[in-house]
Amino acid sequence: MNGGIALGQMVQPKKVVEMEVQQGTIHIQHYCVYLIPVNHKPCSSVEAIMPSKPEILNRGTVARSRLFRADEIHLRFSNGEVRTYEKLCTGGPGAVLIVPLLDENTVLLVREYAVGIEDYHLALPKGAMDLGESLLEAANRELKEEVGYGARQLKFLKRIHLSPAYMEHGINLVLAWDLYPERLPGDEPEPIEVVPYPLDRLLELVMRPDVCEGRSIAALFMAREWLAGNLSLEST
C-alpha cells in the first residue's frame, strides 16, 4: 500500500482521501481510515495516535450501600461530545487472586458459594487486601485462609479489571508455588472445599459449567504459559 499509512494509524479527516491499494481492505469509519489486512502477515505496529483523554467536567456520588458506591461523571470528549456515565467505585486498597501451584501440573482451586450467582462455583482463591499489606503478603494470607497452604515463592503476574467500561475494580493476579501446609482462620461461613486440578486438563476445566469466573480462566491460561516458559515476568 502506498502513502505510508501504518496499520492501525488514524488519518486526520480530509474531504478527499487519495491512496492506492495493493492488498488489503480500506475501511472508512467516520473520519478515520484503517487498513485491515486480508492475509496472515503479522501487523508491523498496532500503535495509533489516540485522541487525548476526555475532560472530566464534574463527578458526584449517586448511590451508596455498605459495599458499593456509584458515581456519576460528566465528560467532554476531545471531539466536543459531552456524555454522562455512571461507574462503580472501589473503597479499599485492592484485591488479589492467587494461582496456587502445588506442583508444575497441579493448581489448587476452591469451591464455594457465591451470592452473585446464588450457586456454588469452582475458581481460584482471592480476597481483599488489608490496609498496610503488600500485594504478595495479601496473596499469601488469602492462600493460608482459603486453601490451607503458604507459599515460599510468590510472583506478581498482571493486574486485570472486571469491566473497565463501568467499574473501577481491578484485581492483582499472583502466582504462588513452593507451597507448605499452613492455615490461618478465615471468615468463611462454611469450610471451603479445596480442589486440586491438573493443568494438562485446563480446557476440560474451563468448559465446566461450574467454572464461570472470567478472571480465573484468564489467570489459569496465563499461569500455564508461564509454567511453559512462554511468559517473562518482571521481578517484583
The distance of closest approach from Cβ of residue 152 to its own copies in the complex, given in angstroms and rounded to an integer, is 16
Count, residues near its own copies per rule CB under 8 A: 106
Query: If binding is defined by CB under 8 A, does position 236 make contact with its own copies?
Result: no
Span interacting with its own copies, options 15-23, 132-140, 165-173, rule CB under 8 A = 165-173
Site string for its own copies, 3-42 (x = CB under 8 A): ----xx-x--------------x-x-xxxx-x-xxxxx-x
Residue 93 CA to residue 101 CA, distance in Å, equals: 25
What letters, b where the CB count within 10 A reaches 16 and e where it falls short, cover 19-49?
eeeeeeeeeeeeeebbbeeeeeeeeeeeeee
For its own copies, the closer CB: 16 or 203: 203
CA angle 228, 230, 234 (to 5 degrees): 115
The pair phi, psi for residue 183, each rounded to 5°, is -120, 135
The distance of closest approach from Cβ of residue 133 to its own copies in the complex, given in angstroms and rounded to an integer, is 19
Enumerate residues 6+ apart whose C-beta is below 8 A from 59: 71, 72, 73, 74
- By CB under 8 A, the residues from 59 to 78 that bind its own copies are 62-68, 70, 72-73, 75, 77-78
How many CB atoms lie under 10 A from the CB of residue 219?
Answer: 25
Task: Using the Cα atoms of residue 83, residue 88, residue 94 and residue 98 in order, give the sign of their dihedral.
Answer: negative
For its own copies, the closer CB: 147 or 154: 147
- By CB under 8 A, the residues from 170 to 199 that bind its own copies are 170-171, 181, 183, 189-198
The distance of closest approach from Cβ of residue 23 to its own copies in the complex, given in angstroms and rounded to an integer, is 13
Residue 135 CA to residue 178 CA, distance in Å, equals: 18
Enumerate residues 6+ apart whose C-beta is below 8 A from 162: 169, 170, 171, 215
For its own copies, the closer CB: 3 or 51: 51
Alpha carbon distances (Å) from 199 to 45, 59, 138, 143, 223: 33, 45, 24, 19, 9
- By CB under 8 A, the residues from 90 to 109 that bind its own copies are 102-106, 108
For its own copies, the closer CB: 16 or 165: 165
Query: If binding is defined by CB under 8 A, does position 161 make contact with its own copies?
Result: yes
- By CB under 8 A, the residues from 109 to 128 that bind its own copies are 111, 113-123
Residue 114 CA to residue 190 CA, distance in Å, equals: 12
- When binding is defined by CB under 8 A, the residue of 6, 17, 19, 56 that contacts its own copies is 56
Query: If binding is defined by CB under 8 A, does position 54 make contact with its own copies?
Result: yes
For its own copies, the closer CB: 41 or 153: 41
